[in-house]
Structure 1
Amino acid sequence: MIERKQRRWRAGVCAAQKHSARLARWATLALLAALALPASAATRAWLDRDSIGAGESVTLNIETDQGVVAPEYAPLRAQFALSDEVNNRQMQMVNGQVTAKSLFGVALTPRGTGTIDIPSLRVGNERTAPLRLQVAAAAAAPAGSTGAGDPAQLGNADVLVQTVADDAHPYVQQSVGVVVRLYLGVPLTSGELDLDPPAGAALQRIGDDVQSRREIDGRMFTIVERRYLLVPERSGPLTLPGARFRGRGPSGFFDDYFGRGGDLTARSATQTLQVRAQPANAPQPWLPLHDLRLRYTATPQRAAVGEAADIVVEASARGATQAQFPELPTPSVDGAQVFAEPPQFDEKFVDGSPQLKITRRYSIVPQTAGPLRVSGLRVPWWDVAVGAAREATLPDLNLQVLPGRAAPAAPAPPASAPAPSVDAAPSGSAVTPTHAVSGLLGALPLWMALAALFALLWLATLVWGWRRGRASRAPAGAYAASSTSSTSSTASTAPRARYGLPDLRKALDGGGLDEVAAILCAQAGVADLDALLTRLDDPAQREAVLRLQRARWGDAGDVPGARAALRAAFWAGPHWRDTPRKQSKDDLPPLYPRDA
Structure 2
Amino acid sequence: MKIGVRAWRGTVVLAVLLACMTGSLQAQTRAWLDRDQIALGETTTLNVETDEAVAVPDWSGLTRDFELSGHTSRRQVEIRNGRQIERALFGVALRPRREGRLTVPPLQVGGARTDALSLTVGPAPVRSARDGAAAFVEAELETDTPYVQQAVGYTLRLHYAVPLVSGQLEQPEPEGASLQRIGNDITYSREFEGRRYNVVERRFLLVPERSGPLTIPGARFEGRGAGGGFFDDLFDRGPRQLAANGPATALSVRAMPGTAPQPWLPLRNLDLRWLDQPERGRAGAATTLTLEATFDGAVGTQLPEINLPAPDGAQVFAEPPQYDERFDEGRPRVRMTRRFSIVPRAAGSLQVAGPRLGWWDVRAGAARTSAAPDLHLAVDPGDGDATDGDADTQAVATALGLPAVPGADREVSRVWPWLAALFALLWLATSVVAWHGLRRARAGARGLVAAVPGAAPVPRARIGGPSLATVLQTGDPAEVDAALRALVDPPAADLEALRRALGDTGQRDALAQWQRARWGDGDLVAARAALRQAFRAGARVAGPATPEDEAGLPPLYPRR
For this structure pair, what is the TM-score category when the shorter chain's length is used for normalisation?
0.3 to 0.5
Normalised by the length of structure 1, the TM-score is 0.42
Normalised by the length of structure 2, the TM-score is 0.45
Larger Rg: 2
